[in-house]
Amino acid sequence: MRIKVDDMVKVVTGADNGVEAKVLKVLAETDKVIVEGVNRVFKHMKRSQRNPQGGRLSKEMPIAVSNVMLICDSCGKPTRVGMRYKDDGSKERFCKKCGAGNGLLSPPRQTYAKSK
């Protein structure tokens, strides 16, 4: 998955369209992400020993990863994300708009290193 925890993303569809926020959790098995302050729902809690007052708790629910775009660190715009191998064989994410790297995904591997 090309979105990671603590990335800044922009929501491009849905009720929270246009919101820029941080990714709190990535659910890779379902291709969903939990974004801070986006897709909030109320969970109604009955009174109990642990929660003596009861009431409504507000929490974020997951949204599809296709509904968010990564905000590039260098150009500051929402962009698609590409993958490429660097000369030393390490894999990195890069911005499709400006071409700048946005963090490593895997350590250097000899099989992907460009020989001199």
pLDDT digits (tens, 9 = 90+) for 26-39: 999 999 999 999 99
What pLDDT score does 63 carry? 96
**C-alpha span between 26 and 14 (Å, rounded):** 19
Classify residue 102: in a domain, yes or no: yes
Q: How confident is the model at residue 95 (pLDDT cuts 50, 70, 90)?
A: very high
Same domain, 84 and 37: no
Same domain, 95 and 61: no
Rounded to the nearest 5°, which phi and psi values hold at 113?
-75, 140
Q: Which residue has the tokens 């001199």?
A: 116
Q: How many helices (H) does the chain have, and how many strands (E)?
A: 0, 11
Q: In total, how many domains does the chain have?
A: 2
Q: For the residues 94-105, what does the mean pLDDT come to?
A: 89
The model's pTM is 0.82
Whole domain around residue 103: which residue ranges?
80-116
Classify residue 50: in a domain, yes or no: no
The percent of residues in the chain predicted with pLDDT above 70, rounded, is 99
What pLDDT score does 116 carry? 61
Same domain, 37 and 3: yes
Question: Angle at Cα 27 formed by Cα 21 and Cα 32, nearest 5°?
Answer: 60
Q: For the residues 58-78, what does the mean pLDDT come to?
A: 94
Classify residue 96: in a domain, yes or no: yes
By C-alpha distance, which of 105, 112, 64 is closest to 89? 112
